[in-house]
């Protein structure tokens, strides 16, 4: 297992002069798991976006190291899998076309065509979406779209897995899948959840209440 560390130092984020959170400091390390909690609208997703390098903090510093090597922000996405409500799929493409596009976006270019196809097929089966792989996304239910997002997040076998409200729109089978994925990630890397779901909170060893940073 690679040694992964995300170091957050005095992070603050504000929009139009309004503080979403401030002075957030925390070290996330491989082999650990943390859940970010807080009321709806309290800033959980904003913190996830900052940690994921989707947006920049207003103040403070975030750094990522893997095996003690500093990872530049431009390469961070190659080591991270993210599931979130604000990441969209292409409705006019099929499930397998979406996964192929996103796989190639994250790939280092070293995989053969056969390896790429095998990995995409593996993760389609993992989330029970293989039978719908050739259907366009606009025919998918919200739960099916969520499963495809999960497959996308896992395809690069990330050292860092970040799940923002992962159980949204999932049935019991889908929620059981989330638990299994979390258990697997804790064995091989770093897991961060953002949720208010009591069951999902139990998957993590550390709890961060975003409302402590107001």
- Could you give the 3-state DSSP secondary structure of residue 174? helix
pLDDT of residue 128: 96
Confidence class for position 200, pLDDT limits 50, 70, 90: very high
Asked if 35 and 48 touch (Cβ cutoff 8 Å), the reply is no
pLDDT of residue 196: 93
Give me the mean pLDDT over the 36-48 stretch.
Answer: 95
Segment 124-151, tens digit of pLDDT: 999 999 999 999 999 999 999 999 999 9
pLDDT of residue 197: 93
Domains and CATH numbers, the chain: 4-213 (3.40.50.300)
Q: Is the pLDDT of residue 174 over 90?
A: yes
The rounded distance, in Å, linking the Cα atoms of 163 and 208 is 14
Q: Is the pLDDT of residue 109 over 80?
A: no
The rounded distance, in Å, linking the Cα atoms of 40 and 27 is 24
Confidence class for position 108, pLDDT limits 50, 70, 90: confident
pLDDT of residue 9: 98
* β partners of residue 8: 26, 62
The token pair at 148 is: 């495809």
pLDDT of residue 55: 96
**What ranges in the chain are assigned the alpha helix state H?**
44-51, 95-106, 113-126, 142-154, 172-188, 198-201
Q: Is the pLDDT of residue 8 over 90?
A: yes
The rounded distance, in Å, linking the Cα atoms of 105 and 200 is 29
pLDDT of residue 62: 95
pLDDT of residue 74: 86
Overall pTM surpassing 0.85 (yes/no): yes
Phi, psi of 91 (to 5 degrees): -60, -30
């Amino acid at each position: 297992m690679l040694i992964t560390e995300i170091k957050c130092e005095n992070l603050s984020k504000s929009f139009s002069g309004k503080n979403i959170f401030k002075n957030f400091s925390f070290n996330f390390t491989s082999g650990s798991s943390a859940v970010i909690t807080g009321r709806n609208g309290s800033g959980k997703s904003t913190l996830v976006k900052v940690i994921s390098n989707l947006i920049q903090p207003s103040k403070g510093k975030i750094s990522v190291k893997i095996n003690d090597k500093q990872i530049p922000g431009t390469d961070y996405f190659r080591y991270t899998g993210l599931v979130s409500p604000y990441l969209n799929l292409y409705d006019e493409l099929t499930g397998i076309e979406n996964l192929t596009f996103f796989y190639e976006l994250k790939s280092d270019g070293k995989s053969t065509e056969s390896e790429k196809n095998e990995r995409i097929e593996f993760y389609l089966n993992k989330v029970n979406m293989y039978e719908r792989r050739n259907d366009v996304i606009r025919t998918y239910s919200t739960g099916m779209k969520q499963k495809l997002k999960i497959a996308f997040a896992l395809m690069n076998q990330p050292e860092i897995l970040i799940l923002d409200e992962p159980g949204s729109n999932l049935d019991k089978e889908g929620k059981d899948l989330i638990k299994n994925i979390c258990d697997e990630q804790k064995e091989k890397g770093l897991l961060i959840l953002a949720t208010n779901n009591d069951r999902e909170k139990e998957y993590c060893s550390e709890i961060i209440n975003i409302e402590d940073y107001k």
